[in-house]
Amino acid sequence: MKKHIIYLLLIISTYSFGQDNSKANYFVISNSYPIPLGNNFVNKSLYRGIDDIELGYNYDLIDNVYVGLNLNYIFLHRGDNFPPLPSLSLEIINPAFCVNYNFKIGQFRIIPQLNIGYALYKFYREADNSSISYYSTSNALTFTSQLKFLYAITERISLGLSFAYDYSWLDKPQGITEFDSYDQRVQYLYPGVSVVIKI
């Protein structure tokens, strides 16, 4: 009986090792421009997008279906040229779980993707002495749909364009009075560029 169990474990281990070697897992690095949309606090309070950096890891689950983890850092800013609203910066840290499918056509790859995650919003501005004074923080539940168009420049590296639409439900931050007038459902559009590195 023990021999049969050992043989079975060896077969499973060998099969799993072979499967892992055949997997086409990959890293993603994207840089996008965040564009606020809709009648919500971020858009109507005149925040302007500065940058969005995305890092992701995708695991080849089965037949070109991938699951993975993403981490986005998004930065927006509202300048002093929008009186009577004060200058204010907004940082968003957004980890998320993702699932996508890879359509491969020769050297080209099209990747539709869905994300669900959590976002930490941090509102702050620099004081006169250049120290950072945080106004408030807030939490959000995020849903993102994304589409990437990629071209393989080598066997392991693909470059291309990415487009994403994000829908977030934001808790009310304390101390931000203009939030009361607008919707908590914050939306963004993210046009950008992506690099995919197969591992």
Model confidence band, residue 130 (pLDDT cutoffs 50, 70, 90): low
Give the C-alpha separation, 199 to 85, whole Å: 48
Q: Which residue has the higher pLDDT, 191 or 23?
A: 191
Q: Is residue 180 part of a domain?
A: yes
- Cis status, amide bond into 84, omega within 30 of 0: yes
Q: Is residue 132 part of a domain?
A: yes
Tell me the HSE value of 9 on the side-chain side, using a 13 A CA sphere: 6
The answer to whether residue 66 scores a pLDDT higher than 90 is: yes
- Mean pLDDT of the region 124-142: 71
Q: What SS3 state is found at 18?
A: helix
pTM equals: 0.78
User: Which domain range does residue 131 map to?
Assistant: 24-198
Q: Is residue 169 part of a domain?
A: yes
